[in-house]
Amino acid sequence: MIIIPAIDIKEGCVVRLFQGNFSDQKIYSRDPVKVAKHWARQQAGLIHIVDLDGASSGTPKNLEIVKQILKEVTVPIELGGGIRDTQTIRALLAAGVSRVVLGTRAAQDEGFLKETLEEFNEKVIVSIDAKDGQVMVQGWRESSDTILAMELALKLKKIGFRKVIYTDTSKDGTLKGPNIKDLKALIKETGLKVISSGGISSLEDLGKLKALEKTGVIGVIVGKALYEGKFTLAEALKAVQ
């Protein structure tokens, strides 16, 4: 199971939102490149970057910062936020992004899912962002009343995806622990490999997810807990060895 530090970028700063609320944020750094280099020095195997301005607007907005990060660090980067067409995916992969994270369009367009999987295979991954079982879209600001998280996961499995990111948006940024119950149900029903995101608060939380590794949890995205000093990346990596 891998530990993936998160860098959420909004208006050029590294921030954390509370439950995805754009009006409830805390700035941790005004230099995302410096933060990425820090995680690289701490032996991160993968860095998860979210362009929050892109997620909100529907078009990536912080690509120059991402490109600078790609120049400065050799750690693989996965990027999400406002990526909603194949042309943008191609451009990001060509620029050096290792994996593109899809959200809103993936939840709304089955044809797009099939097209992207066929062309990019495991260079794309879908993030299932859910609140009370409903898929959240448009930067988590809107609930997709037409599709449940489990329905989307089963659709992804049927199309041919083998891995997903799963975020309980009500847990994200709260430091109240991950939604183990829904995570277990998702894995049991779909057989998908899952990267868990949202709510990590302690090494104990990581231990609970590590216990699910054999059933399908392959990674954990950690944000606020690292920025708030609840534990270091080195401690997290050691905890899941």
Distance CA(102)–CA(84), nearest Å, equals 7
Cβ–Cβ < 8 Å for 106, 126:
yes
Residue 27: how many CB atoms within 10 A of its CB? 11
Q: What is the DSSP letter of 170?
A: T
- Catalytic residue flag (residue 31): no
Q: Clarify whether 8 is annotated catalytic.
A: yes
The per-residue b/e assignment along 124-163, b for 16 or more CB within 10 angstroms, e otherwise, is bbbbbbbbeebbbbbbbeebbeebbbbebbbbbeeeebeb
- Alpha carbon distance 170, 143 (integer Å): 12
Distances (CA, A) of 211 to 91, 197, 200: 38, 16, 15
Residue 181 to residue 80: CA distance in whole angstroms: 25
Q: Provide the pairing of β-strand 124-131 with 134-137.
A: antiparallel
Of 51, 129, 168, 205, the catalytic one is 129
Residues marked active site are found at 8, 129
